[in-house]
Amino acid sequence: MQRAGRVRLPLRSLVLASVAAIVLGVVSDVPAAGRLAGGSESDIQELLDRRADAVMAGDLDAFMATVADDSESFVRRQRRLFRRMRGVPLASYRLVVRPDRFGDLVTDSVSRRYQTTDAVAIPVTEERYRIEGFDEAEAIEDMYFTFVLRDGEWLIAEDGDLDDLTFYSGRHLWDYSRVKARRAGRFLLLEPRCARCPQAPAAAIRLAREALRRVRNYWDAPWTERVPIVIPTSSDDLKRMLKVTFELDNFVAFAYSSVDRSEGIDYTGHRILLNPDAFADRSNSSTLQVLAHELLHVATRDSSGPFVPNFVEEGIAEYVGHDADAAALAFLDAEVAAGTFDGRLPEDFRFVIGSGTDVFRSYQKSYSAARFFVDRWGFRKLVRFYRRLGSVDVAPGTARYQIDRALRSTVGVGLNEFERSWAGTIDNP
């Protein structure tokens, strides 16, 4: 069976924030938010400013002067990182210490690793950068640098000391390989520069342009329309870049965005990441469908919000990706014939957990529900419903309650009635 579907993770950073709150319950001696044990925020920020300036200036010595020598492997990795970043067309690069978010995350076990230092601190560090010509706002990754104080000077000793608590520092293509950047109009291909590394399909740019035209036919709200397409070195590296724990065998590509919490919830740093293992040898028509699906996710980012469920996100993306082709729903017809169709809209977790068939079923249901909506009320009403639901950032009530409210205000029916009516059309085509 062809690998099943695609998934996007617009709330990745928000999910990590909730996980962090749980993990803090088992982290000992965590100071109050805004405080750093044994040192000042301004001193660490000065260190980060020097490191960021070195990146933009191309000064390897100044960059390495911010790195402690506790770990030879970390020192080597930092040197490689700096050299690889030279191939990335950066418009800006900043590092901002944020102890106000989680305080100091140092654990007893981390402290024991650095007993020869005067102090150890692990506040969240936000890596903020823009790719020239593509990022209107800064892309943001959380870094969990271990800062050590020796002889009055703060240095960076590691960035993976909290991996066992799933506080993963951000990773990019340039953490794993030299980068080949190829700009083609509104797209930027970022590929690994090595002989045996995967490369983008030969027709990728042409198909991306065609996919963009398809998205424009459906989504007319303003959006950036400039998107980097990233080819990771392997599925394992892609998994680490996404900071996910589920297997990627069932997924072809990801529309990835970071989250800026400075003023509410803003999605920034939009990327399309291809799964190199799943993308090989796909037909042009399949590649076009995948790219249109992911571009639609990027197009809707500014209209999305934390209450938009995956069945809505994936339904509208599948509808546009398949260009409203009804033949793509044959799988559900087979389920109805076999008596296995359950008539329920899929819950969010069902898009990432389960077999390839289970995941594919969730995408099929979402696409079917989107078609049902459009057939009854039109695509413009679907867009209006999406934007109404996405406009809610913080509000009382469950996600199901918010979906119900948005449906009633848009088309005059609630979620339960929508679900029953949709399922009835599949049971009785």
At residue 427, the pLDDT reads 67
Q: Which helix (H) or strand (E) holds 92?
A: strand 90-98
The conformational region for residue 405 under phi > 0 = left, psi -120 to 50 = alpha, else beta, is alpha
Contact present, 143 and 95 (Cβ < 8 Å)? yes
Sheet containing 124-131, strands listed edge to edge, beginning at the edge strand earlier in sequence: 90-98, 124-131, 139-143
CA 63/CA 255 separation, integer angstroms: 31
CA 112/CA 84 separation, integer angstroms: 32
Number of other residues whose CB lies within 10 A of the CB of residue 341: 18
CA 412/CA 144 separation, integer angstroms: 47
- Domain 31-170: give its CATH architecture: Roll (3.10)
CA 128/CA 139 separation, integer angstroms: 6
**Half-sphere exposure in the Cβ direction for 270 (13 Å, CA):** 24
The closest alpha carbon to 102, from 217, 156, 6, 22, belongs to 22
Q: Is 345 helix (H, G, I), strand (E, B) or coil?
A: coil
**pTM value?**
0.87
Contact present, 391 and 336 (Cβ < 8 Å)? no
Q: What proportion of the chain, given as a percentage, has pLDDT over 70?
A: 90
At residue 30, the pLDDT reads 41
State the virtual CA torsion across 45, 46, 51, 53 in degrees, nearest 10.
110
At residue 342, the pLDDT reads 87
Alpha carbon 306 to chain centroid, angstroms? 14
Give bridge partners of residue 200 from the DSSP assignment: none
CA 298/CA 136 separation, integer angstroms: 14
Residue 354's contacts (CB-CB under 8 Å, 6 or more residues apart) are none
CA 354/CA 351 separation, integer angstroms: 8
The closest alpha carbon to 295, from 237, 223, 348, belongs to 223
Q: Six-digit token pair at 266?
A: 């803003």
CA 141/CA 290 separation, integer angstroms: 25
Contacts 24+ apart (CB under 8 A), 332-335: 332/361, 332/364, 332/365, 332/368, 332/426, 333/429, 335/361
Contact present, 108 and 28 (Cβ < 8 Å)? yes
Per-residue pLDDT in tens (0 to 9) along the chain, 429 residues: 223 333 333 322 222 222 222 223 333 334 445 567 555 899 999 999 999 999 999 999 999 999 999 999 999 999 999 999 999 999 999 999 999 999 999 999 999 999 989 999 999 999 999 999 999 999 999 999 999 999 999 999 999 999 999 999 999 999 999 999 999 999 999 999 988 888 887 888 999 999 999 999 999 999 999 999 999 999 999 999 999 888 888 889 999 999 888 877 788 999 999 998 888 778 889 999 999 999 999 999 999 988 999 999 999 999 999 998 878 877 777 777 777 788 899 999 999 888 888 888 999 999 999 999 999 999 999 999 999 999 988 788 888 999 999 999 999 999 999 999 999 887 665
Residue type, 146: T
371-421 pLDDT, tens digit each: 999 999 999 999 999 999 999 887 888 889 999 999 999 999 999 999 999
Q: Six-digit token pair at 75?
A: 């020192």
Residue whose tokens read 């301004």? 42
